[in-house]
Amino acid sequence: MRSLLLFFVFLLTDACVDPLKVPNLAVEQGLVVDGAITDQPGPYTVQLFSAQSLDKDLDKRQYVGGAAVTISDDHGHTVTLTENATGTYQTDAIQGVVGHTYQLGITLEDGRQYESTPVLLEPAGTVDRVFFQFQENSINQNDLTKPQDAFAVYVDATGTPGASNLFRWRWKGIFHYIAFPELRTRGVGRTEIPDPPLCSGWIYTDSTGLDQVGPCECCDCWAPQYSTDALVSENDFINEMEFKTVRVAQIPIDKRLFYEKYHIEVEQMSVSQDIYAFWKLVKAQQQSASDIFQPAVVKIKGTIRCTSDPDEKAYGIFSASAVTKSSVFIRRLDIPKAIPQIDTLKTDCRTIYPGATNQRPPFW
Amino acid sequence: MKKLLLFCVFVVTPAWIFAQDPPVGRPDMPSMTLTGIKDGQPLADVLIELEKSHPVRFFFAPEWLEPYTADSQYNGKSLRYMLDDLLRASDIRYSYMFGYAVIFIRDPQRTLEHEARVQTAIAKKKTIESRELGDRRKYKPGSRAAITGNVKDESTRHPMVGVIVLVNDVETAVTDEKGNYIINVTTGENMIHFKSVNFRERVIDAKVYSPATLDIVLEEAPTVLDEVVISEQAVLNRRISQTSLRVTDMKRAPTFLGEVDLIKQVQNQPGVTTVGEVAQGFNVRGGGVDQNLVLYDGVPVFNTSHALGFFTAFNADAVSQVSFYKGGIPAEFGGRVSSVLDIKSKEGPLDKWHGGGGIGIMSSYLTAGGPVKDDTSSVIASVRTSYSDWVLKTIKSNYQDVQNASLSFYDGSLKYIHKLTNRSKLTLSGYTSYDRFSLTNDTLYTSRNIAASIHYDRTFTERLFGTLSVSFGKYTYGTSDDDPTQAYDLSYGITYPSVKLDFNYEGEHKLSFGAHHTWYDFAPGSLKPTDPESTVRNIDMRPERSSESALYFSDAFYWREKFLLEAGLRASFFNRVGDGVTYHYAEGLPRLRQNITDSTVYDKGESMKTYVGLEPRVSLRYTLNAFASIKLGYNRMYQYMHLISNTAAVTPVDIWQSSNTYFKPQIADQISLGYYRTIQENMYEAYVEGFYKVTQNVLDFRDGASLILNKNLETTLLPGDAEAYGVEVSASKIKGRLQGSLSYTYSRSWRTVDGASEEEKINDGNRYPSNYDQPHVVQLGWRYGLSRRIFFSGTFVYHTGRPMSLPIAGYSVDGVPVMTFSDRNKYRIPDYHRLDLALIIEGTHKRKKMLDGTWVISFYNAYGRKNAYAVFFQDNGKGFYNPYKLSVVGTIVPSVTYSFKF
C-alpha cells in the first residue's frame, strides 16, 4: 500500500522531477555589460562578454575585446578605459562623487555602439549593525546530505534624508580552515607511498622516509565566499529610511567553514532607480525559479542599449554606487550545538577553494 | 356520452373491425414522414390520401376536422408532428391503436386525463412501459375488461403480497398471499401502477382491448437519497453551450484516489481545459479560472477545491443537480465572463429517512436525510472529512518537507426545507469547506469557504412563481509560520452577503426577471509577526468594499413554431465604496510606484468609482426537423472581480480584487453557433459548435510582479485584451450497454497587452498565447455495463501542452547569475494525455439487505505517464538554472472506494 501512496508525494520526489528537453531552443545572442563606478577609490572595471547558452559554464565567459569604452559624467568629464585583459576594461584616475551622474559608452571593433542609461550616484546611508542568529533546520531541507543549520546574518541600516535610499547589499565571507598535505600519498604499483607537496614542509625519499624540512606553507588557508543572491531594499513596505533586520546571508554550519571562525563583511550600496529595478527583477527571478507556484517569467532588461541598431540585443548594467561597509566574526563557539571536527584534507589547502590563500588576513 | 361518441366514430367508417390484419413489425405510423401536401389542403383530404398510399386507417367524423387545413411546411415532418401541431389547442385528440389505426376522439376528457397521467409520471422520473393487453379483434370500445395477474419479486421469485395496484391513479386492488390480483378496467388506454415499499414502482401504459392477464415482477429499489438525475434533455432541446452533469455518471467514472469529483467531470466537457492535476478550477473556452461563476444553491463559491486542487470541495453525494453553461448564458446569471456552474444540493426525502456514505483512501463521507414532519419538512446533512496525515506519514523520504507535511480537509452541507403552505416553501441551505496544509513543520496554509442561504419560494398564480433569497458567503485563507525568527500570520478574506429576488412566468412567453444585490468586503491581507523574536514586519492592508447589483429580464417564446427565441438583458451596476485611497500617477509615465504624484483619500461610504454594464443575452434555436436543430447564442458579460495571480492555476494564496479606477471591469462578448442532431431514435447524439469570444480589460502581470500585500497592485498588473475562438465536435451514445462520448476541440486563446510605454507592453505589444491556450483537445469517456450492476468505465484525455516562457540565455553581473527569457509563452510544455479506468460494482438490489454497497476500483493515469504540471528551474551546478518539469502524478494511481446506502 505504501508504494501505491508514493505518488502522493506530489511535490518533491525524484520520480516526478525530470529535466525538460525543449527542441529547437534558440539561444539569444547579445552583448553583456558588467560595470560599475563607486565612491570608493578605483580602479573600476567594466567587462564586456557574450550571453551564453544555459548549458554552458557561467564562469567561462566569452569576453569581447578591442572595444573603446568611456565613462562620462554630467560635469563634462570623460575618461577612456584601458583594456587590461581581453574584455576587461579599467579606469585609472577617477573616483565616483555622490551627486554626479555617470554614463558608459562603448564602441565595438565592428563599429556597433552602445550606451548605458545615465546613473545618479546617491549617498550610501549607514549600516548600523551587522548581526547574526543561529537557525536550526533552516536550509537544504530537501537534501539531508547537506547542512541543515545555518547562521542568518542581518543588517540594520539607515538611509540619508532626501535621498531615494534604494539599496543593494552584497557580502564577502572569509573562513579559516586547515589541511594535512603531508599525508598525501600516491599509488606506486599496488602500494601507496607518501607524496607530500613541497609546501607542506615535509619531504619523502625511499631511503629516509618522511622528513620535516621546514614550516608548512599550505596547511592553514583562508578562503573567500561571495554573495550570489540579488538583494535589494524593500522600500515599498518601509516607513521612511529605516531598514531593520534585513537578512543578507545564510551561512551554513559546515565543519570547514567553522573550523575556527567566519568573517562576514556586508557592503551597502546605493543604487539608482533603473539599477534598483534591475536587481529587483533578478531577485524576483531567483526567488521564483525554484518555486513551483510562481512562474519564473521574469524578463530582465538591463540598462544597456545598442544605439547603432535598436534591434540588437544588449544586456547587463552599468551602475554607480556609494558604498558603506560593516563586518562581524561568527565564531565556532556561537554554534549552540556540537559540530564535527574538520575532515582530513590531504592536499595543498590553497587548491581546495577558489581564491584561497595562505596569507592570514590583517584583521584576523 | 363517451360510448356514443366513440360509436359515432366507428359508424363513420363501418369497415373498421375487419380491416386487414396488421402486419407484425410495422413501423410506428405516426412517425411516418409526410410528402406531397399542398398549401391549404384540408386535413381530412390529407388523411384520405395517406390511407391510399400507406397501410393506415383514420377514424373520424369529417365535420371535426373541417376547420383544419394543412400546408406544405409539413412535408418532411412526421404525421404526429402535423397532428399535434394542428390540433394543439383543440378538443380533438387522437390515439393510435392496433398498429394501423388512428382514432380521433372529440370528447377529450379521458385522453386528456391519460396524457396528464403520463406527463405526471414523466415528471416524477418514472419509467413508463407500454403494453397491449387482450385481443385487438375483440375490442369493444368503452366495455369493461378484467385483468388478472401475478406479482413476483424479481430476485427471489417469491410471490409478493400486498402490492398495490392502481388504475388511473385510483387504488383498485392489492395482491393476495399468492401474489394474485384482479382488476376491472374500461377498455382503451389505462395507466396501471404496481407499488410496494422498497421496490421500484412499475408503470404500465396499457392499451386494453379485451380481458387479459398481466404478470409482473418487481425489482428492489436502490434506496437512494432523492438523487434527482437530471432529466435526459435531448441535445436538440438544450440551450446552446449548456450541459447537465449527472451525478450517477460522476459516480460511475474513474476517480483520483477514490474521490468522486464534480470539477473533474466539468473538465471533461468539450471546450473546458485545465492546466494540470494540482490546478484549482478550470478554463472555459480560453478564459481564466477566475471567470467561472460557481454557484452552490445560488451562492458563489470562490475556492472549489481541496488540497491545492487535487480534489473538488463539493461532496458529490450532497449534490442533486449540476448545470453548466459556457455560452448563451441566461440573463439571470452574471458577474463572471466565461461560464456558469450551477450546483444545486439535494433535498432531504419527505417520506422516510435514508442515508449513505463512502470510505476511500483519502476521505470518508456520510449523508443522512429524512422528514422532520411527514410531507411538510425535511432535513439532509452531509459531511466529508479526510483522515489524519497517515498517508503522508507512511512515506519514507529523504525530503524532510514530505516527512513533515500534513494535509487535511473537510466539507459539510446542511439543507432544510419546509412547505409553509401549498404555495410556498422555505429552504435553508448551508455549506462549508476547510483545508489545512503544511509542507514543513512550521508553515501552515488554511482556507475556508462558507455559503449559506435562505430561499423563500412562492407560487402566486398557476403561472407566476417567485423566489426571495438572502445569502451569506465568505472565503478566507491564511498562512502562518511558527518558526520564532520569522513567525507570522498572513490572512485574507472576502465576505459577500447578498439579496436576490427572482420571478418566473410560464405562458406563451416564458418570462424571467429579477433583481440581485451583493456587497463585497475584501480584507486584502494582513501580515502580523506572532513572536517577539520575529523579524517580520506588520503589514495591514486597508479593507476594500464594493457592491454589485443587477436587474434582469428575459423572455423565451416560440416564433413561427420553429424558432425558440430567448432574449434577455441584464443591467449591472458596480460601486467601489470607501474608505480607500486612489493613487495618481504622472501622465505619460509608466504606472510605477516611483511615478506616484498624488493620492485621493475617500471616506467611509463614499463612492470611489462606479461602472454600469448593459449585458444583452440572446439564445436562438431553430428546429430543422425531429432530428436536428441549429442554435445560436450571444452574450455579453461583465466581471467586476479579478483574480490577481501570476500563475496559471489558482494557488492557495491568490488575491481577488474588485474593480476600481485602474482595474476596469472585464467585458466579454461571445457568439456561438452550433448544429445538433440525434441519430437512430436518440441512440446517438452529435453536435458541432463554434465560438468566438473577445474579452476586454483582462489583467496580466508585469514581469517580476510581487502581488501579495502590495498596496499598489495597479503597478504590477497590465490591462489587455483577450481573444478566443474554437470549434467543438462531439458525438455520444446515450443509450444501451455501452454509453460514452468522444469529442475534439480546436481552440485558441490569445492575449494582447499593448500599453502606452514600453514597460506597459508584453511581448512588445504583439499578441501571445494565454497561459491556457491548448489548441487540440481530445476527450473520450465510456461506460460499459458488464451486467446490471457491474460497469467498466474509462476516460482518456489529450491536450496540447500549455504555453510557457523559458530562459534562453544567461550571464552574470557582479557574480550574480541572470537569465534571459524568451518572449512570454513562446514555448510549450509537453503534451498532456492520460487514461483512467474504473470498475464499478454496485450492490445487488436485494430487499432484506441492511446496506446497499458499491465498490469502485480506479486506476488513474493507467499507463503512468509523467505529465508535466509545472516547469521550474534548478541550479545546474554551473551557476545557471536549467528547466525541469514537475509531474504531480508520475505513476499509475490505483484506489478503492466503498460506498453504501441505507
Mean per-residue pLDDT, B385-395 = 65
Bridge partners (DSSP) listed for residue B95 = B103
pLDDT in tens, A326-345: 999 999 888 888 888 888 88
Residues A296 and A196 reside in one and the same domain: no
Residue range B182-241, pLDDT digits in tens: 888 877 788 888 887 667 788 888 888 888 888 888 876 643 332 333 333 456 667 777
Going by pLDDT thresholds of 50, 70 and 90, the confidence category of residue A228 is confident
Q: CB under 8 Å to B500, separation ≥6 — which residues?
A: B298, B467, B468, B469, B470, B471, B514, B515, B516, B517
What is the interface pTM, i.e. ipTM, of the complex? 0.86
Residue of B nearest to A294 (CA): B647
Domain boundaries B343-901, corresponding CATH code: 2.40.170.20
Say what the pLDDT of residue B523 is.
86
CB B755 within 8 A of CB B761: yes
Rounded to the nearest angstrom, the minimum Cα separation between B602 and chain A is 22
Any domain includes A6: no
Write down the residue that cell numbers 514543513 correspond to: B440
DSSP state of B801: P
Q: Retrieve residue B835's grid coordinates.
A: 487514461
B804 CB neighbours in chain A (<8 A) are: 295
Position B5 scores a pLDDT of 37
**What per-residue confidence (pLDDT) applies to B537?**
66
* The pLDDT value given to residue B680: 81
Q: How far apart are CA B819 and CA A58, in angstroms?
A: 11
Residue B892 has a CB neighbour count (10 Å cut-off) of 17
Given this model, what pLDDT does residue B1 score?
A: 37
- Is there a domain that residue A15 lies in? no
| Residues A91 and A60 both lie in one domain | yes
Cα separation, B381 vs B390, in Å, equals 27
Partner residue opposite A25 with nearest CB, options B651, B806, B880:
B806
Closest CA to B649 of B353, B301, B275: B275
* Residue to test with chain A: of B445, B872, B887, B892, most A Cβ within 10 A: B872
Domain check: are A316 and A194 in the same one?
no
Average pLDDT over residues B785-805: 87
Do both A189 and A128 map to the same domain?
no
Query: Do B811 and A141 count as a contact with CB atoms less than 8 A apart?
Result: no
Between A29 and A126, where is the model more confident?
A: A126
Examine residue A356 and state whether it is found in any structural domain, yes or no.
no
**Which of residues A238 and A98 earns the better pLDDT score?**
A98
What's the whole-number mean pLDDT along residues B460-469? 88
> In CATH, which superfamily holds the domain spanning B125-218?
Immunoglobulins (2.60.40.10)
Same domain, A187 and A222: no
In chain B, % of residues over pLDDT 70 = 83
A100-125 pLDDT per residue, tens: 999 999 999 999 999 999 999 999 88
Q: Which residue has the cell 513572536?
A: B531
From chain B, pick out residues whose CB is under 8 angstroms from the CB of A238.
537
For residues B334-353, give the mean pLDDT: 87
pLDDT for the residue numbered B107 = 62
Mean pLDDT of B11-27: 37
Question: Which of residues A189, A212, A235 is at a domain's end?
Answer: A212
Cα separations (Å) of B63 from A138, B41, B68, B706, B890?
A: 97, 15, 10, 83, 76
- For chain B, the structural domain boundaries read 2-107, 125-218, 242-342, 343-901
How confident is the model over B819-846, as a mean pLDDT?
Answer: 84
Say whether A292 and B886 touch across the interface (CB within 8 A).
Answer: yes
pLDDT at A270 over 70: yes
Domain that holds residue A198: 181-212
Specify whether A88 is located in the same domain as A189: no
- For the stretch B264-276, pLDDT in tens is 888 888 888 887 6
The CATH code that applies to domain B2-107 is: 3.55.50.30
Identity of the residue numbered B525: G
DSSP annotation string for A206-252? TTTEEEE-S--SSSEEEEEEE--S--B--TTT-STTEEEEEEEEEEE
Check whether B22 has a pLDDT greater than 70: no
* Average pLDDT over chain B, rounded to an integer: 80
Q: B821 and A236 in contact by Cβ < 8 A? A: no
Whether the per-residue pLDDT at A72 is higher than 50: the answer is yes
DSSP tag of B316: G
Running DSSP on this structure, what letter comes out for residue A232?
B
- Return the pLDDT at B644: 77
| pLDDT over 70 (residue B106) | no
Read off the pLDDT band of B10 (50, 70, 90).
very low
Per-residue model confidence (pLDDT) at position B68: 78
Range with lowest mean pLDDT among B47-51, B120-124, B731-735: B120-124
- The arithmetic mean of pLDDT across residues B483-489, rounded, is 69
Residues A254, A202 share a domain: no
**Mean pLDDT value across residues A221-249:** 80
Same structural domain for residues A105 and A235?
yes
pLDDT of residue B51: 83
Q: Across B539-683, where does the E strand assignment appear?
A: 539-540, 544-559, 563-577, 580-585, 596-602, 607-625, 628-639, 641-644, 655-658, 666-679
Nearest chain A residue to B883 by CA distance is A20
pLDDT of residue B280: 67
Query: For residue B665, how far is the Cα from the chain centroid?
Result: 26
How much is the average pLDDT of A64-76?
91
Which position has the higher pLDDT, B71 or B668? Answer: B668
What CATH number does domain B242-342 carry, 2.170.130.10, 3.40.50.2300, 1.20.1050.10, 3.10.20.340? 2.170.130.10
Note whether residue A293 is domain-resident.
yes
Provide the shortest C-alpha distance from residue B607 to chain A (in Å): 27
Per the CB < 8 Å rule, is A142 touching B891? no
| CA-wise closest residue to A297 among B662, B139, B762, B447 | B762
Q: Is the pLDDT of residue B260 over 90?
A: no
A208 and A229 share one domain: no
Residues of B in contact with A302 (CB under 8 A): 813
User: Is residue A117 domain-shared with residue A157, that is, in the same domain?
Assistant: yes
Mean pLDDT, to the nearest integer, of B623-629?
83
Q: Residue B233 has what pLDDT?
A: 46
Using the predicted structure, report yes or no on whether residue B157 has a pLDDT greater than 50: yes
The whole-number pLDDT of residue B61 equals 76
Q: Residues B299-311: what's their mean pLDDT?
A: 80
Q: Are residues A136 and A232 in the same domain?
A: yes
Q: A358 lies in a domain? A: no
Query: How many Å lie between the alpha carbon of A332 and the closest alpha carbon of chain B?
Result: 21
For residues A173 and A191, state if they share a domain: no
- Which of A29, A48, A50, A54 is most worth mutating to test chain B (most B CB atoms within 10 A of its CB)? A54
CB–CB of B439 and A11 under 8 A? Answer: yes
- pLDDT band, residue B406 (cuts 50/70/90): confident
One DSSP character per residue, B64-92 reads: HHTT-EE-GGGTTSBHHHHHHHHTTTSS-
How many separate domains does chain A show?
2
Quick one: pLDDT at residue B224? 35
The three-class DSSP label of residue A145 is coil
pLDDT for B698-749, tens place per residue? Answer: 988 887 776 666 778 888 888 999 999 999 999 988 777 888 889 999 999 9
Interchain CB contacts (distance < 8 Å): A and B: 245
Q: What is the mean pLDDT of residues B525-543?
A: 72
In the block, residue with C-alpha cell 363501418: B14
Query: pLDDT tens digits, residue range A117-170?
Result: 999 999 988 999 999 998 877 777 656 677 778 899 999 999 888 788 889 999
- Cα-Cα-Cα-Cα torsion B811, B815, B816, B821, nearest 10 degrees, comes to 0
- Residue A20 to residue B885, Cβ atoms within 8 A: yes
Flag whether pLDDT at B4 surpasses 60.
no
The mean per-residue pLDDT over the stretch B561-583 comes to 90
Q: How far is B393 from chain A (nearest CA, A)?
A: 10
